[in-house]
């Protein structure tokens, strides 16, 4: 007699969906914010290039963070805090002037 595989609960599926959205869009926002912050701190093309390279690293780290944490709430909180910090650095460096 064949046994049926257990179907994951709805809450588990929503948690995975939330982590996936946080990983894709939240990490993208983090990468863009860090690129802007570093470009605002440095002059010329070198700041933009360095910011883009660090942005790629932070995007990868953000995706890993979203799936390594214990909950989707912690994933969103970590991404939002890091993005907010980069935004504050951008504003403090005079990026909106």
Is 38 domain-assigned? Answer: yes
> Is residue 7 assigned to a domain?
no
Residue 16 placed within a domain: no
In angstroms, the Cα distances linking 88 to 3, 27, 49, 67 are 55, 17, 20, 26
Looking at residue 2, its pLDDT comes to: 67
Residues in the chain: 97
Is 59 a domain residue? yes
How far apart CA 97 and CA 90 sit, in angstroms, is 10
Instruction: Write out the residue range of the structural domain in which residue 51 sits.
Output: 25-92
State how many domains the chain has: 1
Q: Helix %, strand %, coil % for the chain, to 5?
A: 80, 0, 20
pLDDT tens digits along 25-73: 999 999 999 999 999 998 788 888 999 999 999 999 999 999 999 999 9
């Amino acid at each position: 007699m064949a046994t049926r595989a257990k179907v994951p609960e709805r809450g588990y599926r929503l948690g995975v969906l939330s982590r996936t959205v946080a990983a894709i869009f939240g990490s993208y926002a983090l990468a863009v914010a860090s690129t802007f912050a570093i470009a605002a701190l440095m002059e010329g093309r070198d700041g933009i290039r360095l910011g883009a390279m660090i942005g790629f690293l932070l995007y990868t780290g953000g995706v890993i963070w979203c799936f390594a944490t214990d909950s989707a709430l912690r994933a969103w909180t970590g991404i939002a805090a890091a993005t907010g910090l980069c935004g504050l650095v951008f504003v403090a460096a005079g990026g909106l002037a």
